[in-house]
Structure 1
């Protein structure tokens, strides 16, 4: 059963208590990581469906005799587990009481979990697992391919669009009344968390380039698919996150009104907690940035190796053809000599 807000607070800020687990004790690490399912577990249920669907696709490939990299499955499961750690544990409850806990949710759901999920290559798995389209008929695979090649997909995959959506999650959410409105209901809260996850997935899907995307299929966007552009796109977010974090840490007033009332007995001042949240927003970006940079450089290295091997094979074929032609000329000359010509 959901617990009432500490100290009997009946303000509208906690009107959603009936549909959310609300902590009554100050945060500790064991309380933060303890399993606390919500009465309406929207996101945890969705994550379990995605996990089952992914491994159903892997099993389908195995039964067909095809292989799927184990590390892709591990990364997808890790991404799902990361989302569950933010939405099915004490972190979610404390995120309703403390801005710092909410900022942990925001950073993990928008910057860490999407990296693992993208590295799991779910779109590639789906395209391989779905049956090919029968002649003259529409299939799920053909619909997915049509979506990937559609004009809206090309618009979303453009660097300006994906980067703008990613940054709006910071400035457009916290510096407008939108945050307080969404936090006022359980559905708004879950919608905001799903927004973090979806925008992060879109951004890193384009930056990492693991799965097929409109950037690879569209001639107009192909120039944005190179490693140099993707590294610059990744680096472009760093100053915005840093500035956002510094603003929160240096502010002498609360940015959002939802956390304006201190929790009785916890001894945590809202302004000080906001500064902690700013530090989290500033410093957390280092972890996913290093992971993504490592993946891009590894892709770059493997691309150079493949190009080198391709050039070497082409040179070897040309040398073999030249040697065969010279041998052919030598045999013709030898035959002419034997005939006395």
Structure 2
């Protein structure tokens, strides 16, 4: 099980070599459909991930189709964030940039991990390479395992989100392509760790794993919502987009307000939904005796 999570994280990391913008300059409404990011550093790893996963699913009929649906949805979202014009639009609109961040941190990682790619990928590989990958996964697990606790995973993810949205760091990422890649890579990596922790709690035998992960989700909901509010209600533009949003007919401040709402609302629903699901799972696993509340406040009899 642990090796499976490690390999799943490894496959999901294939596209991280190109987590940057296309660098195509300002993109207006008339140019948006011509601004696809056809970067080999994006397309080749994604195509390799699709091919390995599809080959493994075809070879082993015992893998459930629901896995493939989740993995396909996650890869489609990565394509939305890294290939579709949303990537190039992030050079012009802070709100588009923020939407890309939400794809990389909140929505694509859990879907990729729900696809549980370790099994299909191992089946797709030659037998000798499978053994090599299993050995490598055991070694990598020693480094990843301490990072998958609810406190550690949520703090690492939160630190990445807050640090990169500091105006100095964000503006540096806008100005330099390699800094931009580092920004997006850290979002995606910490997002994978965070959601791997959440999903592992679903399958954990420890009954307290689910409420602990739900607490981490609540913490992330609160601090990311606070950051979204600070961005949305700031009285003036915080980042170095200048007059770029006017190419879309909106002011820089309006664009920033939209970006804050993008961080605040869609991500908030995702965290709330996951937290409620974990708590429902925890309650469902409790024995009748554990459901009893002393004093009769919530229990008759």
TM, length-normalised to structure 2: 0.75
Q: Structure 1 residues 117, 291: CA separation in 2 closer, same or farther (over 3 Å shift)?
A: farther
Counterpart check, 1:241 vs 2:224: yes
Deviation beyond 4 Å, 4+ runs, structure 1 = 124-134, 222-225, 297-304
Change (3 A) 1:245 1:23: same
- Does the alignment pair 1:196 with 2:187? yes
Structure 1 residue 37 corresponds to structure 2 residue 36? yes
The alpha-carbon deviation at position 252 of structure 1 amounts to 2.1
**Whole-angstrom distance in 1 between the partners of 2:201 and 2:43:** 25
Alignment CA distance shift 1:21-1:176 (3 Å):
closer
Is the alpha carbon distance of 1:25 and 1:256 closer, same or farther for their aligned partners in structure 2, counting shifts above 3 Å? Answer: closer
2:156 to 142, 159, 165: 165
Query: Are residues 1:50 and 2:49 paired?
Result: yes
1:224 positional shift: 8.8
Note if 1:77 corresponds to 2:68.
no
Provide the aligned C-alpha RMSD in A: 3.5
The CA distance in 2 between the partners of 1:303 and 1:36, in whole Å, is 50
Distance 1:53 1:125 in 2: 7
Name structure 1 gaps, 5 residues minimum. Answer: 1-15, 217-221, 309-341
Give the CA deviation at 1:124: 4.8
Question: Is it true that 1:106 corresponds to 2:101 in the alignment?
Answer: yes
CA drift at 1:180: 2.2
Q: 1:131 to 1:169 in 2, by over 3 A?
A: same
- Which among 125, 138, 142 is matched to residue 135 of structure 2? 142
Equivalent residue for 1:7? none
Higher relative contact order, chain-length normalized (CA < 8 Å, sep 6+):
2
**Alpha-carbon distance in structure 2 between the residues aligned to 1:132 and 1:230:** 36
User: Separation in 2 of the partners of 1:116 and 1:60?
Assistant: 22
Query: 2:36 touches 2:88 (CA, 8 Å); kept in 1?
Result: no
2:28 maps to 25
Shift of residue 235, structure 1, vs aligned partner:
1.2
Query: Counterpart of 2:210?
Result: 227
1:252 lines up with 2:249 in the alignment? no
1:93-139 CA distance string (max 9 Å, x none): 111111111011111211011121111112354567668889xxx63
- Tell me by how many angstroms 1:281 deviates: 0.9
From the CA coordinates, give the structure whose radius of gyration is larger: 1
Q: Deviations over 1:298-327 (max 9, x none)?
A: 7557856xx99xxxxxxxxxxxxxxxxxxx
Q: Residues 26 and 244 of structure 2 are in contact (CA less than 8 Å); yes or no, is this contact kept in structure 1?
A: no
Q: Quick one: distance in 1 between partners of 2:273 and 2:113?
A: 12
TM-score, normalised via structure 1 length:
0.67
